[in-house]
Structure 1
């Protein structure tokens, strides 16, 4: 959700500011701010806010079990977001575009936890949605990460990927 909003949205702006802090290395502050925002939004709050916040918060946890909790919340919230709401945030976005990244992250968490059957289900879902990804650097990044995680699942590899969100490699985000 790093796009320019169609209308000012203080919550999305606060999420973006916290994400920027996390990306510059202040993970503790970023996590604290996002958790405080989560308390304000609540579990029944705006699903776009919940999806965005949970998706980014998951990246601030090295522990795959903790990341899994937040990635699951992001997927659940995405199921409640409408295209109308997403397009209020940015006219060019569609909820369907969120799912490859969300399933990829879940697959990667399950893989790192050694739950290869669950990981396979989510990487298959991400792969099935990959043809609809945009033909740009973001789409290419996601397609590459999907392939990388699929190979790691097939090899029963539980190691953290260098290209995983929050690592020193490339970030894979919902856009």
Structure 2
């Protein structure tokens, strides 16, 4: 059975490339509709993408924390679907901490992300995550709080 809610989420995410404000509004509506008791995977994906659409590092950090909280909520089984997001979630959290200038928290989140890299396949997604790790580490090494380039 197709996951209609996830289809709605990804439709909103696709808007982000052309109209970030519209994507943010739609994802926030979905977040509110799903609510606290909603599907953890939906909540995680929505919050993860909302973090990327924030105008401030503080806003991104808040949504990154919500994405991780959705995974580790009370009674939430850490299934393979959620576990597969952990490297990306911890890297996003590390990058948000870096951007707000909390370099100690950045180092901690990078260490946790490294501990979850073994779940990644040796494929294009895995390569993207490894590149993101390298980029965050390089920015941290020079104490940069600037956003990383998307490309």
TM-score under structure 1 length normalisation: 0.79
In 1, Cα distance between the equivalents of 2:137 and 2:36? 31
Gaps of 5+ in 1: 1-6, 85-92, 164-168, 170-175
Q: Summarize deviations over 1:40-96 as a string: whole Å, max 9, x none.
A: 111222111111111111111131110111111110111244356xxxxxxxx5322
Q: Which has the higher helix share?
A: 2
2:29 maps to 36
1:124 maps to 111
Aligned partner (choices 70, 78, 87) of residue 100 of structure 1 = 87
The alignment status of 1:114 with 2:101, answered yes or no, reads yes
Higher relative contact order (CA 8 A, sep 6+): 1
1:64 maps to 57
RMSD over aligned Cα atoms = 1.5
Moved over 4 A (4+): none
Gaps of 5+ in 2: none
Helix, strand or coil: the match of 1:94?
helix
In 2, Cα distance between the equivalents of 1:28 and 1:62? 10
